[in-house]
Amino acid sequence: MKALKQFLPISKEDMLARDWHYYDFLLITGDAYVDHPSFGTAIISRVLEDEGYRVCILAQPDWRKNESFTIFGKPRYGVLINGGNIDSMVAHYTAARKRRHDDAYSPGNRAGYRPDRATIVYANKIREVYGDIPLVIGGLEASLRRFAHYDYWEDKVRRSILFDAQADLLVYGMGERAIREIAALLAKGTPVKEITQVRGTCYAAPTPDVCGYPAIRVASYEEVARDKKAYAAANLVEYDEHDPVRGKGVIQPHGDQYLIYNPPAMPLTTAELDHVAELPYMREPHPVYDSMGGVPSIEEVRFSVIHNRGCFGACKFCSLAFHQGRMVTSRSHESVIREVTELTQHPGFKGYIHDVGGPTANFRRPSCQKQLKHGLCKKRDCLAPEPCPNLDADHADYLKLLRKLREIPGIKKIFIRSGIRFDYLLEDKNGEFFADLVKHHISGQLKVAPEHCVGHVLDHMGKPHIGAYEKFKTKYERLNQKYGKNQFLVPYLMSSHPGCTLNDAISLAQWLNKTGRQPEQVQDFYPTPGTISTCMYYTGLDPRTMKEVYVPRNPHEKELQRALLQWKRPEKRRLVMEALHKAGREDLIGYGPDCLLRPIRPVKGDGAEKKGVKVDRKTPKAAPKDARKGRGERKTPTRQGKAPTKKKR
């Protein structure tokens, strides 16, 4: 008989209800407990359960109280810690370093349920209450901070998180293979200090000689903290060696210790990925959060399906390449069909699958056959600035999968929302997938990411030049017209990326003006640990060329660049005007079709013209103080010589 699905224990009472009087692993997370395959905590806990281990979940414990970490008692084999689905500092702070008030991964969308640098705080608490118990850290926060790294929030280089967390092992990337191997060794009684050969892990050692793989030595933490050229050189090696086929180990000294980085684990095979995706997830937040407003992050993924992993897009600001890796693997059609069929039985299902995607929705295969044997090329991106001649851009398999899913009883619509790599799509000379995408899989608007329009900025980003986007846009509009659709194309854009000057931001505003669109949202560049773009931000060097890069670091300049991309908004007018004057681009202030702003014009009949006061007819200013003497403050501005009037209550 098939076992009844249930959440893993989150309390001592849950343990006893299962008749557990001991357990094997404690898994601590900075997120609320959501048992869904889009959440790392759910995947790792279910993988361990599938191997026969007893796992208890400690979600968002109160880090100010030791007793919050001992509610289950001591586990038999060890403690596993992650900071959550996203870096805790990104969860807490905007790109302007302002504190956020919401957190989609916490109950009721409220911030404050986890500490800053959650992985370090939780790990130090475990050391305080359980001493030298085997301690393994993982997840995105640990993965991106595995080497000495620039920390944007402190504006300095920090050592590997392994040392600050006092952990025995750090698992980076998608950790199913590593955690199975580590758990098996611990269960056999292997001391954690002897677990040194697991791929996809890092550990500390007193000597570099213990590394069991061919390895490259990079500059020490102390060197990269004082020498930006050394930091850039080390960052490039760390990025290049993150390849499961050709990647080597990396050794980085930290004081009298050595960080030993083992090569990446191989991605899961299709059969293994199917198995992990179909473990007995509840696919919901734990019901303990119902009275607290639920966990908002489930809403976007509850009726979505992940069909692939990895991304060879190589955007330099994106952490995916440094976490999931650049080798794409995908699930079988049969596995995805089973999952979608199961979703149709959900009581809240309305007939719509919100997404069949992943890191990049239209990647279902490695970039080329050469990658499978030799790994990804060093110093060459698959898509930018031009697509590689060896690129395999066949969408036939993805197209077949989507067509099968559309035929499942109860399905009204299958959407693709997680992002289409438009330049990759253009390389597929068979237009069948593009046609199906437009006809069947867009929910009113398609979001793609050109990011910018200036060539050298796009080169720093690792993105194709704007001509590719414009070609895609033209074809997209023609297909919409052909099939009688009124679907918009929404471009994601980024301001203040390294290499982007104020004049480049103005060029982007001009391009947007020419295309007749203004973005509702603009992403200000956010320097997250480990990426090539963050290296540029910190060092002012492109590590690929070691050439200097202009970096907009001043908060006010970043504000100007961001405002330029939303120049039509009245509240942005002052900043846009300042930016145009600062750049000497007064030619863009006028009445011509290419102008961004209308000039400020004096208002007649109020004496303002004589006093030299300029009043913008669209965003009027108050009259000068002396003009208000003796007659009270004006409630509404005068226009065309009419007397001021008071607003009615």
The pLDDT confidence band at residue 643, using thresholds 50, 70 and 90, is very low
If we measure between CA atoms, which residue out of 514, 515, 533, 516 comes closest to residue 524?
533
Question: Quick check: is 71 in a domain?
Answer: yes
Question: Quick check: is 489 in a domain?
Answer: no
CATH code, 44: 3.40.50.2300
Per-residue pLDDT of 422-447, as tens digits, reads: 999 999 999 999 999 999 999 999 99
Instruction: Please report the pLDDT score of residue 322 as a whole number.
Output: 86
Per-residue pLDDT of 76-100, as tens digits, reads: 999 999 999 999 999 999 999 999 9
Average of pLDDT values for 158-183?
Answer: 97
- Residues spanned by the domain of 114: 12-200
Average of pLDDT values for 195-208?
Answer: 97
Q: What are the structure tokens assigned to 521, written together?
A: 């949202």
Helices and strands per DSSP (H, E), number in the chain: 25, 24
Average of pLDDT values for 233-244?
Answer: 96
Instruction: Please report the pLDDT score of residue 12 as a whole number.
Output: 95
Average of pLDDT values for 549-568?
Answer: 96
Question: Quick check: is 169 in a domain?
Answer: yes
- Number of compact structural domains in the chain: 1
Question: Quick check: is 53 in a domain?
Answer: yes
Q: 258 CB contacts (<8 Å, ≥6 apart)?
A: 204, 205, 206, 207, 208, 251, 252
Residue 609, pLDDT > 80, answer no
Instruction: Classify residue 106 by its DSSP letter.
Output: S
396-406 vs 432-440: helix crossing angle, rounded to 10: 30
Q: What are the structure tokens assigned to 128, written together?
A: 């305080």
Q: How many other C-beta atoms are found inside a 10 Å radius of the C-beta of residue 93?
A: 17
Question: Quick check: is 515 in a domain?
Answer: no
pTM of the model: 0.90
The pLDDT confidence band at residue 621, using thresholds 50, 70 and 90, is very low
Peptide bond into 385 cis (omega under 30): yes
Question: Quick check: is 237 in a domain?
Answer: no
Average of pLDDT values for 248-269?
Answer: 97
Per DSSP, which regions of 561-610 are E strands?
A: none
Question: Quick check: is 171 in a domain?
Answer: yes
Instruction: Please report the pLDDT score of residue 518 as a whole number.
Output: 80
Residue 207, pLDDT > 70, answer yes
Three-state secondary structure call for residue 363: coil
